[in-house]
Amino acid sequence: MLDQGAAPPSTDTATHSSPGLGTRLMRRKPVEQLVAEGGQGDGGALRRSLTMGQLTMISIGATLGTGIFVVLGEATPLAGPAVAISFVIAGLTALFSALSYAELAGSIPVSGSSYSYSYATMGELVAWICGWCLVLEYGVSVAAVAVGWGEYLDELLAGTIGVTIPEAVSAPLGEGGLINLPALVVVLLAMVFLMGGAKESARVNTVMVAVKIVTLLLFIGIGFMGIKAGNYAPLAPLGVTGISAAAATLFFSYIGFDAASTAGEEAKNPKRDLPRAIMLSLLVVTVLYCLVALVAVGAMPWENFEGTEAALAQIMKDVTGQSFWGVVLAAGAVVAIASVVFAVLYGQTRILFAMSRDGLVPKVFARVNPRTGAPRANTVIVSLFCGLLAAFIPLGELANATSIGTLFAFALVNVAVVILRYKRPEMHRTFRVMLFPATPVLGFLFCAYMMWSLPAATWVVFGGWMAAGLVFYFVYGLRRSRLAADAAH
């Protein structure tokens, strides 16, 4: 149980009726207050119904999918056969941050994830910036993943009934089409399931995750028979620069392991189960990613990945000489990528739920349906936003923009662990980062390095996104902050 001794009021809330701007921007929300408010929404409350297994499946569901089914085809031409090393580098970056997430999720089991952790340690402005990055991470990654879903759906339709979706309605603007209709459809389907509530959604997610794990194991088994040793040489034809660039792109594949932390207010035993779910999901995902990457580049020359859509399905067909296995892989990918859309969309709604409860975004996002225990209006708004992005924006730009927002949020989580350890050493923690403070410091440095490796165009997009977020905060959030209202009274 969390220690009930609070930090001195002067460090967490304003102590006078007319605080200066600097004080208002740095006001922090006490851990005890964050936990006490957990689950409470406008008109109802979130329900604690998720087990550790379901939490793990949420994180695996949010992570395992597009990175290996779609983005692998974009990263392999950058790194060559060394793409498996790129997966390891990206995985290590995720691991250091995952350890920090596990400690904070066990200590502050709320829906806000890194947004709430930042609020408790670095103040409201930093929390807002983190939350705004999470909107980019979760919301835009839903759209990016949905775009990839359409590619495998096309492969499945071609292999089963011999038709393909016309390019005009299966590709976004700038890639030869007018609208990516399949991408919009999968987001709307996820929306329908999420509106049923967390428990029902978790059951659907568990089935989909099981299907995609079996599909990837099937690919590993069949693809292994087609490995040619010559395909691994030269191992790194584009050098360390290529490996680093691929790792930065592939970090998109690890986005989602933190999804369990967004379910902190719907877990039955969050302090025990959240850290376990985060670490277990990252282990499962990393092992599968590396095995699939090794088999894929061994079974098909790395040069052939350039411009290849649904690369894993193509490898299955080439190895077996039968289109049937390619169809099976495509069917598994359709389910796998749909589950990513489903789980990440869930995480996005819970982030906005926490921000709305704090007054930093409109109240509609914290409105809970009393019958289902789900934030239904929130789910509809987020789904429509993500669906429109998926329908009209190319995948590559979305993936990079998502990666930089995620890396920024992860960097803040590593900082938050250090601050909370020094400011609240007496707090009971169900999970503690090993080799402290080296681990969170390495996590921060890895994130900074990966951000530096991203293209300049991505930084421009990120800068524009941050500028828009700051304008929104100073116009809306700063004035309507619930913490400020509480302090004034």
Note whether residue 12 is domain-resident. no
Kindly give the parts of the chain with pLDDT less than 70: 1-24, 38-39, 41-45, 66-67, 307-310, 394-400, 485-489
Q: Is residue 32 part of a domain?
A: no
Give the per-residue SS3 of 64-81: CCHHHHHHHHHHHHHHHH
Cα dihedral sign for 463, 468, 471, 477? Answer: negative
Q: Do you know the residue count of the chain? A: 489
SS3 label, residue 1: coil
The encoded tokens of residue 23 equal 């004080």
Q: Are 26 and 124 in contact (CB under 8 A)?
A: yes
2: its two tokens: 């969390």
In angstroms, the CA 22 to CA 347 distance is 31
Q: Is residue 25 part of a domain?
A: no
Q: Which of 344, 353, 341 is nearest to 266 (CA)?
A: 353
Q: What does the alpha-carbon distance between residue 71 and residue 76 come to, in Å, rounded to a whole number?
A: 9
pLDDT at 21: 67
Beta bridge partners of 170: 180
Please state the φ and ψ torsions of residue 267, each to the nearest 5 degrees: -85, 145
The Cβ-side half-sphere exposure at 14, using a 13 Å CA radius, reads 21
The number of angstroms, rounded, from the C-alpha of 69 to the middle of its chain's C-alpha atoms is 16
Q: What is the pLDDT of residue 486?
A: 67
314-353 pLDDT, tens digit per residue, is: 888 888 888 888 788 888 888 888 888 888 888 889 899 9
Closest Cα to residue 283, out of 52, 55, 59?
59
Bond from prior residue into 275 cis (ω within 30 degrees of 0): no
Q: Is 121 domain-assigned?
A: yes
* Residue at 197: amino acid letter: G
Question: What is the spatial distance between Cα 300 and Cα 416, in angstroms, rounded to a whole number?
Answer: 43
Separation of alpha carbons 106 and 431, rounded Å: 6
User: Whose structure tokens read 């990016």?
Assistant: 144
For 116, 263, 433, the CA distances from 56, given in Å and listed in that order, are 21, 11, 19
* CA torsion, ordered 106, 406, 284, 2, to nearest 10 deg: 0
AA letter at 98: A
CA distances from 471 to 25, 465, 466 (A): 14, 10, 9
Contact 83, 246 (CB under 8 A): yes
315 CB-near residues (< 8 Å, 6+ apart): 219, 223, 226, 296, 299, 300
The number of folded domains in the chain is: 1
- pLDDT tens per residue across span 113-167: 889 899 989 989 999 999 998 888 777 778 877 877 877 788 788 888 888 888 8
Q: Which amino acid is at 184?
A: L
pTM, two decimals, is 0.82
CATH number of residue 61's parent domain: 1.20.1740.10
**Residue 437 belongs to a domain:** yes
The secondary structure of residue 367, as a DSSP letter, is B
Spatial contact of 374 and 198, defined as CB atoms under 8 Å apart: yes
Query: What are the start-end ranges of the E strands in 57-170?
Result: none
Q: How far apart are CA 398 and CA 315, in angstroms?
A: 26
- Note down the domain range covering 326: 47-476
* Domain presence at residue 16: no
17 belongs to a structural domain: no
Distances from the Cα of 61 to the Cαs of 15, 121, 254, 282, in angstroms? 44, 29, 11, 11
Q: Specify the DSSP class assigned to residue 19.
A: -
Give the pLDDT score at 140.
Answer: 77
